[in-house]
Structure 1
Amino acid sequence: MPELSGVALVTGASTGIGRHLVEGLAARGMAVAGLARDADRLRTAMDEVASATGARTLAVAADVTDRASVEAAVAEVVEKLGQVDLLVNNAGLIDEYEVPVWEADADQWWDVVASHVRGAQLTIRHVVPWMVLRNRGRVVNIASGMSTRANPDYSAYSVAKTGLMRLTESLATALEGSDVRAFDVAPGVVDTPMTRSMHMWQGFTDWTPPEAVVELVAAIAAGELDQWTGRFVRAGKDDLDVLRATSPEDAARRLRLRPYGDTDPLA
């Protein structure tokens, strides 16, 4: 288990994967700030982590889709804990109804997309400039298997996670030459209230252990997977030792069109 230092900022921190990440990073030595909308639940979660690990924690209630809220939240984190070394964009909604896109409520559909894509862009906007100035930092965007394949009943979530994956690659490309890196981490199917609410996982039992997600993010924070910047890795399937020993090339683990044949003019 790599020992870590510095400050982590995790969004969607009060429950589910975010809550596991907060505790896992704190147990490894990081000071951890958690962002979420429900102030009471967030404060309880962060206090529990501080008590269990002895780490410094901070609860900051914020809506990641609200620019002023994110700006104020990041400023509070920096004031109380210091500059952010690891940003984990985990917050995000799921489609309220499992219906084809033409039957989805338009406002709720866009709320889902905004929670993932606008939320990540806003935190990146207020955290990454300081990483660049200090020439160190890691950004993890929590991806999904639905980043890479369509789902007829979760169109908003699929669009959001695909957009987030492209955002990661755009960020990583812009950061080339620096010691600031960005990654897509798919957590697999972790047993959380969100996954339990999804019809597609009813009766599912082969859950991804939360610790596998924590270990992958911790390895990124420790700088052990830097060659995977701008690419997609998956907890519970990817072997960490293999990832550490592998340097991906070309479009490996990136979103690309697949040519229809050798004569495809877009190949």
Structure 2
Amino acid sequence: MPDLSGLVALVTGASAGIGRHLAEGLAARGAAVAGLARGGERLRAAMDDVAAATGARTLAVPADVTDAAAVDAAVARVTPELGPVGLLVNNAGAIDAAEVPLWEADPEQWWSVVESQVRGPFLLARAVLPGMLAAGGGRMVGLASGLGTRGDARYSAYSAGKSAQMRITEAIGLAGAGHGVRAFDVAPGVVDTAMTRAMPMHAGRTEWTRPADVVDLVVAIAAGELDAWSGRFLRAGADTLDALRATTPAGDARRLRLLPYGDADPLA
């Protein structure tokens, strides 16, 4: 079990679901954890529970991830109270309200999903990364999805948002490489949460990704064990830590790229 003592982690969407599991998993390994979510009362209760269960220092910083001023204010609280953020986990995000084709979607709800998946991670990264650069490095994890690697007829907003989030991760990985900043996309698979239970596509599902698999992958990233995978896509429950540690990916492995139609493709 990696020892994360001395690390300060900021986890968005930390009051429930995967974010709540990640907050407790990081705290159990010694990290101080700041949790961010919109609902202040539920977030404070969750962070208090994490502190009680692990003995770690925690902080609740309520904010809407799509509100620039609120994000800046929340991040500004973390360093004085816990210390500089060394790990940012962009977990918060919404999903399409209905499984319908794009032209039947409500425009405002569709766009709010994209904002949560794109504007949110952008604003958090913009607020946190300068501190990482000043400290000589850090790591960012974006909660990705297989729906970000392919089109989907039913979840067009979520798919578009997750694809864009992967581009943000790759951009940070490339720009931060010379400054000790690394970024990763971690797809959690299908974890049993209120959100996934509400999705008709998962009705009747009996096999779920274990939350512990997601936590273990993020902990390994936080400990610096998977730095060779910066800017790339990892999948909890499918990738094993032993295989990831033993592999140095090359070229465009696990990155979003166009596939050539054949040897004669001028874009190949």
Which category describes the TM-score, using the shorter chain as reference length? over 0.9
- 1:204-231, Cα deviation, whole Å (9 max, x unpaired): 1110000000000000000000000000
Q: Distance in 2 between matches of 1:114 and 1:104?
A: 15
- 1:2 maps to which residue? 2
- 1:27-85, Cα deviation, whole Å (9 max, x unpaired): 00000000000111111111111000000000111000000000000001112111100
- Report deviation, 1:178: 2.3
- Report deviation, 1:150: 1.3
Q: Distance in 2 between matches of 1:265 and 1:176?
A: 30
- 1:158-178, Cα deviation, whole Å (9 max, x unpaired): 001000001100111111222
Q: Distance in 2 between matches of 1:53 and 1:231?
A: 31
Point out the more displaced range, 211-220 or 144-153: 144-153
Secondary structure of the structure 2 residue equivalent to 1:73? helix
- 2:90 maps to which residue? 89
- 1:185 maps to which residue? 186
Runs of 4+ in 1 over 3 A off after TM superposition: none
Does residue 197 (structure 1) correspond to residue 198 (structure 2)? The answer is yes
- 1:139-192, Cα deviation, whole Å (9 max, x unpaired): 000000101011111100000100000110011111122221000000010000
Q: TM-score, normalised by structure 2?
A: 0.99
Q: In the alignment, residue 139 of structure 2 is paired with which amino acid?
A: R
- 2:49 maps to which residue? 48
Unaligned runs of 5+ in 2: none
Q: Distance in 2 between matches of 1:33 and 1:69?
A: 15
- 1:134 maps to which residue? 135
Q: In the alignment, residue 73 of structure 1 is paired with which amino acid?
A: A
Q: In the alignment, residue 148 of structure 2 is paired with which amino acid?
A: S
Question: Percent same amino acid at aligned positions?
Answer: 67
Does residue 60 (structure 1) correspond to residue 82 (structure 2)? The answer is no
Q: In the alignment, residue 52 of structure 2 is paired with which amino acid?
A: S
Secondary structure of the structure 2 residue equivalent to 1:176? helix
Unaligned runs of 5+ in 1: none
Q: Distance in 1 between matches of 2:179 and 2:38?
A: 33
Q: Distance in 1 between matches of 2:115 and 2:4?
A: 31
Does residue 119 (structure 1) correspond to residue 120 (structure 2)? The answer is yes
Q: Distance in 2 between matches of 1:237 and 1:27?
A: 24
- 1:87-118, Cα deviation, whole Å (9 max, x unpaired): 00000001111110001011110100001110
Secondary structure of the structure 1 residue equivalent to 2:44? helix
Secondary structure of the structure 2 residue equivalent to 1:122? helix
Q: Distance in 2 between matches of 1:153 and 1:147?
A: 13
Q: In the alignment, residue 48 of structure 1 is paired with which amino acid?
A: D
Secondary structure of the structure 1 residue equivalent to 2:177? coil
Q: In the alignment, residue 233 of structure 1 is paired with which amino acid?
A: L
Q: In the alignment, residue 154 of structure 1 is paired with which amino acid?
A: Y
- 1:182-203, Cα deviation, whole Å (9 max, x unpaired): 0000001000000000011111
Q: In the alignment, residue 83 of structure 2 is paired with which amino acid?
A: G
Q: In the alignment, residue 162 of structure 1 is paired with which amino acid?
A: S
- 1:171 maps to which residue? 172
Q: Distance in 2 between matches of 1:151 and 1:196?
A: 19
Q: Distance in 2 between matches of 1:2 and 1:147?
A: 30
- 2:106 maps to which residue? 105
How many residue pairs align between the two structures?
A: 267
Secondary structure of the structure 1 residue equivalent to 2:164? helix
- Report deviation, 1:130: 1.2
Aligned-residue RMSD, C-alpha: 0.6
- 2:152 maps to which residue? 151
Q: Distance in 2 between matches of 1:193 and 1:256?
A: 32
Q: TM-score, normalised by structure 1?
A: 0.99
